[in-house]
Amino acid sequence: MAEPSDHTWTLKEIKVFENALGTYSEYLDTEQLQEELWEKIALLIPTKTTAQISLHYRQLVEDLELIESGRPPLRNYSKKYAEKKEPNEDDQDDDDDDDDDDDDDDDDDNQDDDDDNHNGGGGQSSTTIK
């Protein structure tokens, strides 16, 4: 029986898989070429077997067919991918949010400086540097 982790894909693995599909799309024309494609992708994603890659592709095609027919797929993707998260994935998102907050603070500081200049200037600013 396969381990549950065999069915999880990291975001990085998904991106490599999708890029390979785009790069080698001519391999999707026949079943024989598809087998060659799964082997190529397995070299790019050593944590996956050709069978896992083929299954992932079939599920992707099924999902696309359901979406195109107006019936969304019922797979629980959040659970499927949450088990095997990329390292520091959350840290990168937090950094982006912090940068936005810092920019807002800088704007407030600049506003205070502008107010000081409009109040006759020459006086010392009460703004503290953070």
In the chain (130 residues long), the average pLDDT of successive 10-residue segments reads 61 96 92 94 97 95 91 67 52 48 48 49 49
Q: What is the pLDDT of residues 14-27, one digit of tens each?
A: 999 999 999 999 99
* Other residues' Cβ atoms within 10 Å of the Cβ of residue 120: 7
Taken in order 44, 64, 82, 4, is the CA torsion positive or negative?
negative
pTM strictly above 0.95: no
CATH architecture of 7-73: Orthogonal Bundle (1.10)
Domains of the chain: which residue ranges? 7-73
- The residue among 53, 49, 52, 46 whose CA lies nearest residue 24 is 53
